[in-house]
Amino acid sequence: MVLKFIDLFAWIWGFHIAFSNLWCKCVFASEWDKYARETYETNFKKTDPELFESWNFAWDITKINPNTIPDFDILCAWFPCQPFSQAWYKKWFEDKTRWTLFFNILEILKSKQPKAFFLENVRHLLNHDWWKTFEVIKWTLEELWYSFYYKIIKASDFWLPQHRPRLYMVWFKDKTIDFKFPEPQNLRLTMSDIRWWKCDKDIWFTLRVWWRWSTINDRRNRDAYLVDWQVKQLWVKEAKKMQGFPEDFEFPVSNTQAMKQLWNSVAIPAIQAVWKEMIYSLNKK
């Protein structure tokens, strides 16, 4: 049986690639950023034309009636992380607009009652305000009678040469399901593989391009690297590899927009490894 999923706050989006690689079908997606929408449609209209022809690629999820969304088995979402991220100076609940998007997810879950859902966010969500924020999210979603599993997973646990720790959260409607997160795998790529020359580290911090003016010695440096003892910066081709995107993934936008989109996406091999375990758990029942 082909599992159907919806892709919320889709960005460009790694969830879609990871799920499609395991023979699942996207029946609805949402994204408001016009440049991300352009990249998303360019890459997925070839494989999922009906998603766009049936007007199921929504612009503003807050304007969508949950009852009009096609039936699906799995909800996947990266709800905007800026309220929780160190990179945005920890404004947390002050960022009301982005935070309230979490409740749009909640309304869809209440209406559609899928078999499972899978959320990804920055790791700082876990311990914000002495765990209180995380406990509110956990308790709110458990009120819908879903079992809950979570773990901080690094991209380097699943083959990619960047740490990029993220909080992975998984819920199942069937509370008898016994789910286990996948075990870390050996590194398959190093930074030297990414650049094709000798890099000073096998694994770097995390793909980030927001501070492109940072120097090699800056403590906030994220995009400058020593390659054969020369300072180099990552660009689109290398950044795609660091996130696990396929080589033929296209960016019909400027290089600056492409780097912003890659910086803000997910590590595809890590998403796919967790999703594979979710499918295994669902099929056991």
Q: Per residue in 3-20, pLDDT tens?
A: 999 999 888 778 999 999
Query: What is the DSSP code string of 161-213?
Result: SB---EEEEEEESSTT----PPPP------HHHHHSS-BS-SSBS----TTTT
- When pLDDT is cut at 50, 70 and 90, the band that residue 219 belongs to is low
Single out the residue of 283, 281, 79 nearest to residue 181, CA to CA.
281
| pTM for the predicted model, two decimal places | 0.88
Catalytic residues: 81
Residue 124 β-bridge partners = none
Phi and psi for 146 in degrees, rounded to 5? Answer: -110, 140
pLDDT over threshold 80, residue 24: yes
Are the C-beta atoms of residues 18 and 275 closer than 8 Å to each other? Answer: yes
At the top level of CATH, which class does the domain 4-184+266-284 belong to?
A: alpha beta
pLDDT over threshold 70, residue 209: no
Q: Quick one: pLDDT at residue 220?
A: 58
Are the C-beta atoms of residues 4 and 73 closer than 8 Å to each other? Answer: yes
Torsion 277-283-284-285 (CA) sign: positive
Single out the residue of 5, 10, 43 nearest to residue 25, CA to CA.
5
Residue 26 β-bridge partners = 5
CA atoms within 13 A on the CB side of 78: 23
Q: How far is Cα 65 from Cα 239, in angstroms, rounded to an integer?
A: 36
Q: How far is Cα 262 from Cα 276, in angstroms, rounded to an integer?
A: 23
Are the C-beta atoms of residues 101 and 79 closer than 8 Å to each other? Answer: yes
| Mean pLDDT score of the chain | 84
Which of 11-15, 22-26, 33-37, 213-217 shows the lowest per-residue confidence on average (mean pLDDT)? 213-217
Structure tokens at 23: 């023979």
**What average pLDDT does this structure show over 128-138?**
79
Q: How far is Cα 204 from Cα 224, in angstroms, rounded to an integer?
A: 10
Which of 25-39, 46-60, 101-115, 207-221 shows the lowest per-residue confidence on average (mean pLDDT)? 207-221
- When pLDDT is cut at 50, 70 and 90, the band that residue 88 belongs to is very low
Question: What residue has token string 């352009």?
Answer: 38
Residues in the chain: 285
